[in-house]
Structure 1
Amino acid sequence: SSSSSSSTSSSVCVQAKVPEDCIKVNPNCQWCAQEDFSGQRCNIQPILEEQGCSDLQIIESSVAMDAANEANRFDHQSASVSVTSLCRDVVINIRQARIRVGGNVNINFRIREPMVYPVDFYYLMDVSYSMLDDLKSVQTLAQQLVATLQELTQGGTGSVKLGFGKFVDKVQSPMTQMTPYKLQHPYGSSTDAPFLFRNVIDLTSDVDKFEQVLSKQNVSGNLDPPEGALDAMLQVVKCKELIGWRGDALRLLMVATESAFHFAGDGSGYLAGISRANDGRCHTGGDGIYVGAEEQDYPTVNQVVRAVEENSITPIFAIGKTYADMYKVGVLYHPEDVFRGSTWGILKKDSSNVVDLVRRAYLDITGKQEIVTSNPDDSVLCPWYHVTRPGGAMEQLSVDGTLVGGLESGSKVYYNMSLYANRGACAGATSCPVGDVIVKTRQYDDKLTIATSVVSAFGCAATVIVNSPSCSGNGNFSCGICRCLPAWGGSSCSIPVEGKIGCLPLDGGAKCSGRGKCLNNRCQCDPGYRHGKSKIFGDFCECDECPVRAGLVCSGNGRAVTGTGCSCDCVCDAGWEGSDCACASNTTTCMGLGGEICSGFGQCVCGACVCDVTSGYSGPTCSDCVQNCPSCAAFKDCIQCTMHQSGALADSCVTSCNDEVIEVEDIDEASGEVLCAALDKIDNCKFYYSYKPSGSGMVFKAEVEKRCKPEYSLLIILWCILLFLLIGLILLCCWRCCVYVIDKEESKNYK
């Protein structure tokens, strides 16, 4: 009941003695700043009004609509707002959400499925030589593809636009054969010169033009099996204006290939010598050519995933049977590197089933609403959703990845989003702008934008009277109370304090044990949760009770042990750790490169890696290099001079190269190690080495001996020539003898 709830809130509020604690302890707690007020200053609004408070400080969470939605007034009491619709033709913005620290606002909105689904369909095809039959088949399918999409979208002419792009790989050894003829015609005169990506046809509704241009396309070729699919995808997604993606259309990107894909690190790990990381930008010009593809490495999978999500593009993977399992795992099962909402299918050898794959993918993608939330600061805001499906009851959904399926065109789904501001937000500030919380569906660009700020202090905190007469000149006056200077106490700072100064006992120790505030030379202890305790108490906040989680002391995974004086600590059972024994100590989920915890670039905290921000590595196991990434070329000279006393640093090796190199007979590929090879120009021999990043630096291994081509002496060559001549002479003699014998026999028969 409301009376029971008010009573509970009031009992919590009265524990706070200063306004900065009052605003955080409970969203219903308000503050009375009246100077001569005799009641509990922190309490719920009805009680403070009943007690006659004349200076009532009230902070409530609220949401303000923009002018276009002024008719949808919001209820200040419940801090909620109703938005009429969020559909493809309407972009609705919330001007501002003002959330009290520890409180929340509720935003109701509706998303309507479009009546007609216009589609932008871009076909990105691998045109390496092995896809020759596939290209010939696709060149005949344009009309059938458009007819199928128009049928599915229930739209007429113009509802479907088609685009076409092709990719192979970087024109760089060893990805591509670099001989002059191969750089013009990799597999005969009918093949095009190698390239990484070309935008052949912008999105167009002119099917005849699409067919005409497509019919003139040829295959090309490269050298190694993987292709540059990820790099090509990133260009198609980032070059929005060039490709012609429409803002009101369902954007589908079909990637057709029968090979694996290159990813970040292959540009340097494959000895291509590309040390610059992919910048994730559009580098394709108006002529459709990807400029500077060989000047930067391949993108990471995460880069491409973020790009397709930010641009509301849904990938469809049409994969050859050989690599289907690799794409299946990468697309569907890896939560960190997944193209969420995408589909995949197995491509026939001649791509004759492309239309069927498009039909199946379209039916799988449409009729769904998946909410994606962009949160500017997870440590401050926590969004949560409830949804009401067509004809159903309200149900609770997860923080993100909210998925509602089985919808028909025109279906309306109602959502309620609660935005919570954590208690620890805006520490030391009266308020702070958090940024824009953006809510959108995965498939469309329309979004709901909420400019959010958190309020963490009452308005009276802005006014402070220093050495106020109300505080006998011995303290500062703000929000109706005095903050006494050291050695003074009492409500008006008029009582000299003996035996302690500024909440410090005479025998020393931290002020309020570091776990409270000194108010009028008396300690006001912090709430227990701030220090991992259930409760903190005592004259100097020196006492505490062990933490309780889910009603269990030490989370039920340990035992409470009384320490020095009146403190309590949890002694965790085996397999558990943390101040409240709530974290499993198993570090299996944190194992990264080379079996190291968090790859040596972070710490495993409660089963998850917290990466060192200065290491340049991120990701679930801190194994993804995002800044100042190493390459084989960077270490070549030092390895060469250290192991073989040659190369550019041979004369300054001692001063220039200080890293220890582990000598091995043979380099074996190990987890997390990058294998490298380089040529010593003095003797034309190759030397092999490897490096592996770790938290303490790089770990280098190098083979003791170089690998040289075998040398053949002139004497051995001469002897081989003589041997072949001798064998030839013997065979000739044998043949002549046989001819002589046969001729002699025939002569006898003739006579």
Structure 2
Amino acid sequence: MGRPGGLLLLPLLLAAPGGARAGGGSCEPHASCEACVRSHPECAWCEDPDFAQGGQAEGARCAPREALERAGCPPGAVVEPRGSVQVLEDEELGAGGAQGGPTQLRPQSVQVLLRPGEEQSFQVRFRRAQGLPVDLYYLMDLSYSMRDDLENVRKLGSDLLAALRNVTSSVRIGFGSFVDKTVLPYVSTLPSKLRNPCPERRQPCDPPAAFHHVLSLTADAGEFAERVSRQRISGNLDSPEGGFDAIMQVAVCEERIGWRPVTRLLVFASDDTFHSAGDGKLGGIVVPSDSRCHLDADGFYSQSQRYDYPSVGHLAQVLSAANIQPIFAVTGPTVPIYQ
């Protein structure tokens, strides 16, 4: 949203639902003040008890203010509520806000009263602060189909870290990998295949895992690069992957991952689609995801054979609650599905 330090002005227009917009429709007879006011933003109500006794029909109490006054309604008896905008908190943009962090948005708190169908506008100013701290967790698909992309995926993590260091001096990065649940029909359960799932026996492959948390968030770029370079491909049987299990654990295991109360990014790198809620039935897994952390001492998701995959909606809710912004680094054919 512009250069760091640049000011962006955003005019906001709000309209309450429930009534006709100004400039359209007209006032019609109504039996009550509430119904009249809700019908159109230009409608007013005459509450003078003697108004109808002057030969006016009771429904004529609902009309524009000018028409009511011409018909003899005293100006003080015309009910015509209007909305308003009141700024409650309006700190200057800058590095030292009341909450201890930088103030990037002004005003910070606004009270808006809206009459149905009426519009109110106010201006918001935004200036992106420089050097905001960022936590980024890199989640890598290690299924066998990724073998051609593994080197690019390794490089992507280092490129992301370098790019973030150009924006802020306070950046930490973590790393994890996933394949799928280690039960049929997702993964071959033959002991030899659980040890080495790749088609070529002589090809060195890592055992499959639903999720493996490899590196907690750290500022040590060298350690991150070294851990990522050590990753080897693994394998499973079907095309969709178990990445949703991995995302869930990254979101809910805040202490193990090491999330700070700062901008949180989750980069999800994969070349295929995903299993979601209900797919677990194929492997006899019917218990819904419980949104809890289940990482063992070695960082593996230990309950993948007990809990089903989360749904898209469930995952979106958990990510939002954890204030994590997902970024899907996926191959071209799968982009529409992730979108």
Deviations 1:153-178 (A, max 9, x none): 3x4x32x3222110010021121222
Give matches, 1:370-389, under 5 Å. Answer: none
With over 3 angstroms needed to count, the CA separation of the structure-2 counterparts of 1:59 and 1:242, relative to structure 1, is: farther
Matched, 1:147 2:166: no
Distance 1:62 1:232 in 2: 47
Matched, 1:289 2:310: no
How many residues get paired? 295
8 A contact 1:254–1:318 mirrored in 2? no
Q: Secondary structure at the match of 1:125?
A: strand
The equivalent residue for 1:44 is 64
Distance 2:227 2:165 in 1: 21
With over 3 angstroms needed to count, the CA separation of the structure-2 counterparts of 1:277 and 1:144, relative to structure 1, is: closer
Q: CA deviation at 1:237?
A: 4.1
Q: 2:186 pairs with 172, 175, 198, which one?
A: 175
Matched, 1:35 2:46: no
The equivalent residue for 2:113 is 98
Q: CA deviation at 1:109?
A: 1.9
Q: Secondary structure at the match of 2:44?
A: strand
Q: CA deviation at 1:88?
A: 6.5
With over 3 angstroms needed to count, the CA separation of the structure-2 counterparts of 1:176 and 1:143, relative to structure 1, is: closer
The unaligned stretches of length 5 or more in structure 1 are 1-7, 72-86, 332-337, 339-751
Give matches, 1:10-409, under 5 Å. Answer: 12-13=26-27, 15-37=29-51, 38=54, 40-45=60-65, 48=68, 51-66=73-88, 68-69=89-90, 89-90=104-105, 93-94=108-109, 96-115=111-130, 119-129=134-144, 131=146, 145-151=160-166, 153=167, 155=168, 157-158=169-170, 160-186=171-197, 191-239=205-253, 242-245=256-259, 248-249=262-263, 251-268=264-281, 270=282, 272-278=283-289, 281-285=291-295, 287=297, 288-304=299-315, 311=323, 313-319=325-331, 324-325=332-333, 327-331=334-338, 338=339
Distance 2:27 2:156 in 1: 71
Give me the identity figure in percent.
35
Q: CA deviation at 1:28?
A: 2.6
Q: CA deviation at 1:278?
A: 4.0
Q: Secondary structure at the match of 2:124?
A: strand
Distance 1:202 1:91 in 2: 35
Give matches, 1:310-709, under 5 Å. Answer: 311=323, 313-319=325-331, 324-325=332-333, 327-331=334-338, 338=339
With over 3 angstroms needed to count, the CA separation of the structure-2 counterparts of 1:88 and 1:127, relative to structure 1, is: farther
8 A contact 2:288–2:309 mirrored in 1? yes
Distance 2:77 2:254 in 1: 56
Distance 2:40 2:174 in 1: 56
Taking structure 1 as the reference length, what is the TM-score of the superposition? 0.34
Matched residue type, 1:61 = G
Q: CA deviation at 1:26?
A: 1.9
Matched residue type, 1:231 = D
Q: CA deviation at 1:265?
A: 3.2
Q: CA deviation at 1:125?
A: 1.0
8 A contact 2:194–2:208 mirrored in 1? yes
Which stretch of structure 1 is more off in the superposition, 164-173 or 14-23? 14-23
8 A contact 1:34–1:53 mirrored in 2? no
The unaligned stretches of length 5 or more in structure 2 are 1-21, 93-101
With over 3 angstroms needed to count, the CA separation of the structure-2 counterparts of 1:20 and 1:304, relative to structure 1, is: same
Distance 1:45 1:224 in 2: 70
Deviations 1:454-482 (A, max 9, x none): xxxxxxxxxxxxxxxxxxxxxxxxxxxxx
The equivalent residue for 1:620 is none
With over 3 angstroms needed to count, the CA separation of the structure-2 counterparts of 1:126 and 1:51, relative to structure 1, is: closer
Deviations 1:105-135 (A, max 9, x none): 3343233344557554332112235556765
Distance 1:186 1:200 in 2: 20
With over 3 angstroms needed to count, the CA separation of the structure-2 counterparts of 1:138 and 1:23, relative to structure 1, is: closer
Deviations 1:226-258 (A, max 9, x none): 321233234334545654455553x54333334
Q: CA deviation at 1:330?
A: 1.6
Q: Secondary structure at the match of 2:247?
A: helix
Q: CA deviation at 1:303?
A: 4.4
With over 3 angstroms needed to count, the CA separation of the structure-2 counterparts of 1:107 and 1:289, relative to structure 1, is: farther
Q: Secondary structure at the match of 2:305?
A: helix
8 A contact 1:237–1:313 mirrored in 2? no
Distance 2:271 2:112 in 1: 49
8 A contact 1:129–1:220 mirrored in 2? yes
The equivalent residue for 1:586 is none
Deviations 1:674-731 (A, max 9, x none): xxxxxxxxxxxxxxxxxxxxxxxxxxxxxxxxxxxxxxxxxxxxxxxxxxxxxxxxxx
Backbone CA RMSD of aligned residues: 4.0
With over 3 angstroms needed to count, the CA separation of the structure-2 counterparts of 1:286 and 1:244, relative to structure 1, is: farther
Q: Secondary structure at the match of 1:209?
A: helix
Q: CA deviation at 1:136?
A: 6.6
Q: Secondary structure at the match of 2:238?
A: coil
Matched residue type, 1:57 = V
Matched residue type, 1:127 = L
Q: Secondary structure at the match of 1:294?
A: coil
Matched residue type, 2:40 = N
Distance 2:296 2:326 in 1: 24
Deviations 1:339-373 (A, max 9, x none): xxxxxxxxxxxxxxxxxxxxxxxxxxxxxxxxxxx
Matched residue type, 1:150 = R
8 A contact 2:251–2:324 mirrored in 1? no
Q: CA deviation at 1:261?
A: 2.9
Deviations 1:579-617 (A, max 9, x none): xxxxxxxxxxxxxxxxxxxxxxxxxxxxxxxxxxxxxxx
Distance 2:183 2:64 in 1: 71
* Higher alpha-carbon Rg: 1
Distance 2:257 2:105 in 1: 24
Higher RCO (C-alpha under 8 Å, 6+ residues apart): 2
